[in-house]
Each structure stands twice: as structure tokens, then as C-alpha cells.
Structure 1
Amino acid sequence: MYTFSKFRLSMSLFDVEGVTSFLDKWIELAVANEVQELDFNVEANGVSRYSLPATIFSAKFVTTLKLSGCNLEQSSDTIRFHSLKKLALHRVHIGEQIVHKFISECPSLEDLILSRIGDFKRVCVSHAPKLKTVTIDEYFELESIEIVAPSLQQCTLAYIRKSCVIDMAGCPHLNSLKLRSVDIEILDLISKIPLLEKLIIQNCDEITEFEFSSNRLKDLQILRCYNMDGIVVDAPNLLSFSLECRDVPYCFSINGSSQCSCKLKFLIKLDTEGDILILTWFNIIKEEFLGVAHQVKELSMSINIMTPLDSFSLDEFRNRSPSLPREVENLIIDVWNMRNIPTSKYAALLDCLLWVCFPRILSIELKRSCFPLISIECLELTRRKHLFYLQFFYEMMINRDTKCCNSHIIKCWRHYLKDFKIDCFIPYKDPKPHHVDNLMAELPGLPRRNYLISSRLVFLFTY
């Protein structure tokens, strides 16, 4: 008899009843062959769903069990998952008692994922002495979550409503918490986790203010919480801070370690009074965000220009912010709707961006289009304008004139730039950098699909 370590089945069905016997047989073969990893995904397009046989409870050699899109309604007096370390249930119709029985009778369980598995009111995780990570995802109707796991280190909660009562007092070693799309009382929850070192708050639009003090917190990420008005953090041992926001918080203060590294991403939408707003944004980013950060590892600005820009200038920005630009490691610029920027203002846009900060690496993302439905003619026009912008930028760097602002005490970037080169480009959805001998020569001939290019520019500044 052949044995297999893994068995994975993923399929979409219209007629479940016609293939039930075959699916049952595959489960039986997997169990009989003592598979260690069983991944069973059966999506039914009709009304009925596939129900797993009781044989599944006898898979005593399985260490990883992933079930998706099926029913697990049959109960079993004996669950033989003695070796099970990871259990992932996604869109599985299952009763609360069976889930609780699963957890309590799997002594080796280390990783638990419960995602959209039914109309649960209560989740109770207990009798799991080795459990290290828990994910509870998309439970809109949950009334309570109780986790008693002495070895638990990481927990993720997603789509949890404010009415849900969360009790994690039985997790004394919990040090990492991720909250995504929840409207619970976050500060009340994290104040009861004394060893918390990593906190991720993502897509939590109900949260308007975040004020937190901790001597243990080392990693804080506040991502896409678009109604966040105030952020005040006192964490002297903080080593990493990430912020992604759309509106400027009225209050922003981060007290972290002197070694704290920051990643900042701003989504700047200019639909009215664009010229005034863009300079206001640049000034706030420079003075209020970069000014309080110790080390900025990455600064990203996604600028969505809805109205034409035609009057902003470096001199106006210089008057608003007369200080020397801040130094950052990597600056990423993504400019939408290039058609709203006249070519005569390309130099002013570059000057203003480099008055915000001096990057060691400058990455420019050129997107094919921000809109999925757009004519071929518009796509080609956008492509040509992107190419022109990049070529213009390249020539500005190569043929820079340092006679522009000799009368000013603090001069523009041209007077500080000592070296420049285009290092590589990165196609959309392809994280591997592509190095070429002459990007500017090869760029027009690159494939038009996935037209997102990142050009890296290496800067060396002296003061």
C-alpha cells in the first residue's frame, strides 16, 4: 500500500449528490493512507452542500486539517486527532459543540483558524495546552469569545461587533494581537494584555482616537483606519511603527525608542482646491510626521489628483516650510491621473516632493490606469504620458542645473544631490526587481499588461 504525506482536493460542484460517494471514497483513502496534511475544499454552486463522512474523525495521523465549503454535522463520540497541530475551518457548516469538542480533544493543537463557519453565538477555546496562534474571522453575530490557552502567543480577530464580549484573561503569554475590521473597545481589550509587544489595527473605521501607553510594545501598525483623528503613543521600547492614513490626524505623537523605524503611507486625494491642498499635505507630512519620527524607513505618497494643478510652486512651499528637507531611506511616489498635471508643472511637483524629504532611494510607481473600464485610446494616452514623465524626470536628474536658488540659505535638491542612477524596475504583482542596462531605452518596449513600474533612484546627500 502506498502512503502519501499530503492530500489536497479543491473543486466547485453543481450536483453534490452525484459525486458524494466519490468524495467519501477519497476521504477514506486519505485516512487509510495515513496522510499528514489534509486540505479539502468543496464549493457547491447549488443549494445542497457536501457533508463530510464520520470517517474524517479517524484521521489520527493528520497534523494539518483544512476544511472549506462543506458540512461537518455528524458528531462522533471519539475524535482521534491525536497528532493534529493545525486546524483551519473556512465556510464550514458546523455546530458549536463539535468545534469545542475538536479543540478540547486535540492535545497537540498549536494553530487554530475559524473563518465564517456558521451562525455561532459563542466561541470557547479551552483545554488546548499547546495552542500558540488563534484566528477568529468574520463572525458578525458573535456574542462572546472566551479563550483559555496558557501557551497562546498570537491572536487575530476580524469582523467582530462591539456587542461581543471578549475574555482573554486565560492567555497570560499573549504578546501579538491583530484587529481587523472590528468596532470593539480596543483600548479596553489591549489594556488587559500585559505582555503585548505587537499590535496591528487595520480597517477599523469606527475608531476615531488611539491613545496608548506601554513599556513592552515594540511593533505598532495602524493601517487604513480612515476615521482616525488622533494618535498618541507613549512606548519607550517601540522599535517599529507603521501608519497608513487618508486624512491628517489632528493630534499625532509617537514617543518610541531612539532606534524606532517608521513606515508612513498617505493617500492624498485632491478633488477641490488641489494646488492649495497638495502644499498643505506636503507641509503636514514634512513638519508634523517626519519631524517627530526618529528614522523613516519608508515614506509612501499616493496622490490622487482629480482637478488640474497649475499654480503651485517650490517658492510657495519654501515659504510655508523653510526648514531643510527630512532624510528618509525610501520614498515611494504614486501619482494618479497624470493628465491633470500639465507638463509645465512636472518640475515643480518634483521640487516640492524633494522639499519634503531627501530619500536614499526614490521609487516612482507608474500605473497603467486607476479605472478598470477605460478605452484603449485613454490607456495608450496614459502610457505615453507616464513614459514622458519618467523620461522628463530622468533628464532632470542627469542634467540638473545648480544655478536655480543660490540666493537662498537652504537650497533645493539639485545642490545636495551627488550621485544618481536608475537601479531597476518592478512589474506589477512581481516583487522580483528586474535589472537592465538601460531602462530608459527598454521601457517603451516593455509589455503593456500589468503596467506598474517602480523606478529606483539612489541618492547620496551631503550637508
Structure 2
Amino acid sequence: MEGTDQISKLPEPILDHILSFLYIKEAAKTSTLSKVWNSAWTSLSCIDFGDNYLHKSKNIVDQILANRLNQKIFIKRLKVNLPNYRSKAVDDWIKVLVTCNIKELFLDVGVYTYNKFPEAIFAAKSLNVLSLRGFKLELPSNGVKFYSLRELHLDDSFLDEQLLQALCAICRDLEVLSFKRFHGLISLQVAGTLSKLSKVKLQFCPPKFKNVDIVAPNVKDLYISSFGLDLHVIEITACKSIKRLKLTAVAVSDQWLEKLLPNLPSLEVLYLDHCLSLKIVKISSYRLKLLKVYACYNLVAVDLDDAPSLLRFSFDVHHGKKRLLGYFDTLPIFKLKASQLLEAKIKLIPDPEALDTHWYSKLTESLGNFNNSRAITLRCDYDEMIVIPKDMRENFLPPLYGTKCVHIKIMDRMNYSVEDVVDSLLWISPQLDTLSFDQGRSLNSLIKFTYRDVANEDVKPCCASLPWKCWRHELKKVTLQNFTRTELEKLRNYFLANTDTLDIIEDPRECSSALHFNK
């Protein structure tokens, strides 16, 4: 019937669940709708004050918690961001929360405050999730009773090493351990007592932090990063179940990596970021599906000859003069058996003064390792990096003659006209089905290529010496999408001048952008 309020007839647990998605300010407004909604509001078990609400209402937490305590209402989750820390108030809150069997507590008091956290929280036997920012945690005199704790998140906090060892001994159900910009620890040792631990994140480990030793057989996700690029000792060979491993600014050696990978038979995702000690990355893994290697400036070789399941590979190519960190970077040597399902993303970062014959020669050689891949993405600051000089093309084979899909992301500087860039890319990959450009528009510019079917034609190849079809003679139709009118005109003239017979289809719905490819 029209006008009937069906939602208010829902069971109160469902109304409570609906309100749990709202900040406290919005949830409180529903109390005026009806007695049912008022009852749901006053017994709300999930309380989220958002980021800025307490700037205006400093006593609202006291009132709400007092109400829950007086009515003996269970509190499932509390999220509070305190602009100004008040130790007496927080002490009182924690005592109420423990009495109300708090399950999930998220408390943020700002950066670098390191206020001592109330010891009363360590008696919270029902606590499942504890997330703190800006606190100092020390082993309490009465011990730790986190028998139900599943997730521990500490951000910008000081952690006592004795407390960590107590947590590892008591919290047998711990599944997630996440520390970010933490202090107090010199090392992290996780014993085999945490059999349910599945995710460990150590982000921005401090300079004094020297050692990571994790013996947890069921860890699947591991992320370690440091401030000082000098975290050397990492022992994780006992973590046989790791599927995703990310190392950032960690001083891992070639020998360490080569020794580690055979001990991780389930590894599917590997990130290596700012690992300056690495010179050779040699991967031997039948399970690895994704590999990202960023800013490993001293890398001289990447050997992926024994990774048949690899589907995604991302890499940034540095080349140029001596840089601030005191190293010389160069294009690494690749050894890769590219799967036909592989999608590669390559970021080109040369010194502007290094765009010489050597650069283009090494670039062509490197790209050749990804021939026959499913798709290639090339990202660069300006188009000079990918416009191979025409006089050099005569001395090289097109590196990606077996690749059907290429995506180009050019940042700010654009010195060449659109036809010059397309001409170079059609030399690099002469059998393209699609060529797309990310030019900062809402939609990417796109060129689709359709070729003549010559399977049943008794036609002599136009370029018999080449191991690929010559697009200039085989191209039947070109579809141009999301180019400006100026670009369309240049591309139309280019294709008509370089082909015998050709249909050109221009999508009028995508031609209104004011951004030009060329200056």
C-alpha cells in the first residue's frame, strides 16, 4: 500500500546493521522517524564518530557510552578520532567498553603523541579488532587477556617489545598484524604459536629496526618496507603459504632472493620496490602470476625464463647519468619466455640527455623480450622516448611484431605530431589490432585495425623477407575513436598516404575533446 513504512517493520538487528554504516551524526537523525527507529538508535551497537565530529561535541562520547553502560547494551564497534587527547576521558571510556564487551575498537589521537594507552584495555577478553594511532603500549602489570584478538593495527605508535612477545604467546587466534611508522621495537620475532596468522604488514620500519624473523606457516600476505633502505635481515623461509610478498626499501641481495623463492611454493604475487642491493632478479616459480619491479636502480639483469604462469609484469626502465644516490643506472638485460597471456607494463625513465642511439638500441632490444605477449603498456613523460628515429629502424627488426595490443600513456610533454608517434608504434608493433593512448581525457584515444583475409588468396607476399605481414599492404579498415578534429585529419592523411585501399571510420561521438595530441 502506498505510504506504508515497510523498513520500520524489519527486525531490530537488521535496523542496527543498517545504522552501522552511518556516522553517528546521521544515525542520530533517524531517531525522529518513529519509536522503532528511536529504539534502534538508542541501542546502536556500532558507533562511528567520523574524523571531525568531536571538534564540536567533546562530551558526546561520554553520554553515549554512559547510556550503553546503564542499559547494559553490548557495544560491537567504536571508532573515535580525538583532536585533543584527554587521558582521563579515554581511561573512563576504556573501562566502559570493556564492561560492554567491546569487539572492535578504533582510536586515533594524532601523530607522534605517544600517550600511554590505558591498561584496562588488556582485560578485554571479547576484543576482536584493535586499531590505534598515536599511543604508547607497554606490558601491563596484570598481563594480557586478549584471548579473542584477531586483528592488531598500530599506526604512529610506540610498542614495547615485551608486550609484543606476550601478544604472540596469548593471541592464538591472531590473523592480521599491521604496524605502520612504529617505534620501540628493534626486531620483530613471530614464533610458530600464531598458527592462524595470515597477514603481516610492517610499513615504514624505523632506522633502528634491524631484524624480521617470522615463523608462521599460514601467512599468505607479507608486506615489509623501511625508512632507511638498510633493513637487511629478513627470515621468512618458514612461511610456506605466502601468496603475496611486497618488499619496499629493503636491502635484499641476489643470493637472498634466489634462496627464498624455492621456499615459497605458493607465491603468486611479488613486488620489489626500491631494493637497491638487487643486481639480478632470477625467478624460478611455476605459481608466480604477477611481478612488479620498481626503482631497483642497480638492477642489471632480469631472468624470468622459468616462470610459465606469469600473467602480469611491471617494470620501470631507468637509463642515464649518475644520480643523487650515487649509482649508475642502465637498461637491464632481460631473459624472458613471454607467455601469450602475458600483459606487461613498462615505464620509461631516461635522463633527457640520454636519448641517443644507445638508448633507442637498448630500448628496442628490451622490448623484443615481450614479443607475442597479449598486451604491452608503455608509460613515458614525453613522446621522444618512443619515437624511434627512422634511420635506426632500417638496422633493427620490429621488437613487438607478434604483439596485438599496445597502450601508450604519455604524460605532459608532447613534441611530436600524432602521425609521427603512430608511425613509430606501427614499426615497433606492425601487426596491431588495437593501439590506445591515455592523454588525460575521460576516454582513451583508440585506433582499431582490421586486415584483409588472405588465407584463401593466391597472393604473393609483398614483403617476403619479413616474418610478419606488412600492415601497409594488408590493412583493410581503420577505426579512429576519441581524437580531436585536427588529429583525425592528420591520421586520415597518414593512413591514406601509406596504404593502397583503406576504409577509415571515425567515431563522431568521441571527437569533441579540446585537448590536442600535438602542440
Specify the code of the residue in structure 2 equivalent to 1:222.
V
| Structure 1 residues 178-220: Cα deviation after superposition (integer angstroms, max 9, x where no partner) | 2111112254255242414232212223322222333443433
Specify the code of the residue in structure 1 equivalent to 2:301.
G
Which residue matches 1:303? 381
| 127-136 vs 275-284, greater mean Cα deviation | 275-284
Conserved? CA contact 2:336–2:370, under 8 Å: no
Distance 1:168 1:318, change over 3 A: closer
Q: Name the CA distance, whole Å, in 1 between partners of 2:223 and 2:413.
A: 37
Conserved? CA contact 2:80–2:106, under 8 Å: yes
| Structure 1 residues 102-142: Cα deviation after superposition (integer angstroms, max 9, x where no partner) | 22211111111122221422211122111112122222322
Whose relative contact order is higher, 1 or 2, with alpha carbons under 8 Å and at least 6 apart?
A: 1
**Does residue 1:350 correspond to 2:428, yes or no?**
no
The counterpart of 2:334, out of the listed 227, 249, 252, is 252
Specify the code of the residue in structure 2 equivalent to 1:83.
S
Provide the secondary structure at the position in 2 that maps to 1:102.
helix
Shift of 1:161: 5.5
Shift of 1:21: 1.9
Q: Name the CA distance, whole Å, in 2 between partners of 1:363 and 1:403.
A: 21
| Structure 1 residues 125-184: Cα deviation after superposition (integer angstroms, max 9, x where no partner) | 122111112122222322322212122222222127656433334333334322111112
Which residue matches 1:227? 298
Which sections of structure 2, spanning at least 5 residues, go unmatched? 1-70, 319-329, 442-481
**Does residue 1:111 correspond to 2:176, yes or no?**
yes
Please report the TM-score for the alignment, with normalisation by the length of structure 1: 0.72
Which residue matches 1:206? 277
Shift of 1:260: 4.6
**Does residue 1:131 correspond to 2:197, yes or no?**
yes
Please report the TM-score for the alignment, with normalisation by the length of structure 2: 0.65
| Structure 1 residues 238-287: Cα deviation after superposition (integer angstroms, max 9, x where no partner) | 3324132132534101236x455132222244622647577546633543
Which residue matches 2:308? 237
Which residue matches 2:110? 43
Conserved? CA contact 2:334–2:366, under 8 Å: no
Distance 1:93 1:393, change over 3 A: same
Distance 1:151 1:304, change over 3 A: same
Distance 1:94 1:420, change over 3 A: farther
Conserved? CA contact 1:313–1:348, under 8 Å: no
Distance 1:20 1:251, change over 3 A: same
Distance 1:112 1:188, change over 3 A: same
Provide the secondary structure at the position in 1 that maps to 2:438.
strand
**Does residue 1:263 correspond to 2:344, yes or no?**
yes
Give the count of matched residue pairs: 387
Conserved? CA contact 1:270–1:305, under 8 Å: no
Which residue matches 1:290? 370
Specify the code of the residue in structure 2 equivalent to 1:181.
A
Shift of 1:91: 1.7
The counterpart of 2:495, out of the listed 401, 413, 424, is 401
Provide the secondary structure at the position in 1 that maps to 2:497.
coil
Specify the code of the residue in structure 2 equivalent to 1:111.
V
Provide the secondary structure at the position in 1 that maps to 2:79.
strand
Which residue matches 1:332? 408
| Structure 1 residues 409-433: Cα deviation after superposition (integer angstroms, max 9, x where no partner) | xxxxxx8x877666xxxxxxxxxxx
The counterpart of 1:82, out of the listed 147, 156, 177, is 147
Conserved? CA contact 2:103–2:126, under 8 Å: yes
Conserved? CA contact 2:317–2:331, under 8 Å: no
Distance 1:75 1:213, change over 3 A: same
Which residue matches 2:234? 166
The counterpart of 2:161, out of the listed 88, 96, 107, is 96
Conserved? CA contact 2:107–2:132, under 8 Å: yes
Specify the code of the residue in structure 1 equivalent to 2:370.
L
Conserved? CA contact 2:244–2:267, under 8 Å: yes
Distance 1:398 1:40, change over 3 A: farther
Specify the code of the residue in structure 1 equivalent to 2:337.
N
What are the residue-to-residue correspondences of 1:20-35 with 2, within 5 Å? Answer: 20-35=87-102
Shift of 1:95: 0.8
Q: Name the CA distance, whole Å, in 1 between partners of 2:299 and 2:99.
A: 54
User: How large is the Cα RMSD of the aligned pairs?
Assistant: 3.6
